[in-house]
Structure 1
Amino acid sequence: MTMQDDPHLSMVRPVTPGTPQGCEECLAEGSGWVHLRMCLTCGHVGCCDSSVGRHARVHAARTDHPIVRSYEPGEDWRWCFVDEAMV
């Protein structure tokens, strides 16, 4: 399968970050994060798998929103949690 063949790409929507200042759950808990990811279905901003909460992955599992993009300055890549692959 190529990156463009991922069937989950159909769930990508035009989104704006729900919490542009950082991970939604970490901000609510008062905790920190390592890197940020934004859901490309709804705009949820969550922390990466290197962060304690892994909130981007938790969000994807709870909502069936599979694809995120990096929410780090200068990064422009997408990840599918279902296929565990770049898309």
Structure 2
Amino acid sequence: MSDVHDDQAFDPSVPPSGAGCVECDAAGGWWFHLRRCAACGHVGCCDSSPGQHATAHFRASGHPVVQSYEPGEDWFWDYAADRLREDGPALAPPAGHPADQPSPGPAGRVPADWARSLRG
């Protein structure tokens, strides 16, 4: 299934911005799960995370599609259409954060009561 905005939503040549959420890393924060922008590679945290940086990136940039950045997951979310997408091109590696990095993560920054901080 292809959407009208697909030509701007995906750039398979761009690698991810790093192993974790850019904004959480800069602030010393933590995340529950990670999402990767399919257009520019920005890695941000999911909407259950305290920072919700992947959605904030969509709002600021207009880049509509993210892919899960969890190891073994390859689904996409289209913010503009507000729906799950199972289609899309293979993005530049790596396809997920390092397998030894826990979720929530990163190790050493997740509070003991992290589940209380999850957003609905």
TM-score (norm 2): 0.66
Correspondence 1:6 to 2:3: yes
Query: What is the aligned-residue RMSD (CA, Å)?
Result: 0.9
Q: CA deviation at 1:5?
A: 3.3
Structure 2: which amino acid aligns with 1:17? P
Q: CA deviation at 1:10?
A: 1.8
8 Å contact kept, 1:8–1:67:
no
Give distance in 2, aligned partners of 1:36 and 1:54: 10
Structure showing the higher strand proportion among its residues: 1
Structure 2: which amino acid aligns with 1:5? S
What SS does the aligned partner of 1:58 have?
helix
Q: Segments of 4+ in structure 1 off by > 6 A? A: none
Give % identity: 51
How many residue pairs match? The answer is 83
Give distance in 2, aligned partners of 1:7 and 1:72: 27
Name the larger-Rg structure: 2
8 Å contact kept, 1:70–1:76:
yes
Cα deviation, 1:25-75, whole Å, max 9, x if unaligned, reads 000000000000000100000000000110000001100100000000000
Structure 2: which amino acid aligns with 1:67? V
Give distance in 2, aligned partners of 1:5 and 1:45: 23
Greater CA drift, 35-44 or 10-19: 10-19
Give distance in 1, aligned partners of 2:16 and 2:30: 18
Q: Which residue of 2 aligns with 1:18?
A: 17
Q: Which residue of 2 aligns with 1:78?
A: 76
Structure showing the higher helix proportion among its residues: 1
Unaligned regions of 5+ residues in structure 1, if any? Answer: none
Q: Which residue of 1 aligns with 2:25?
A: 27
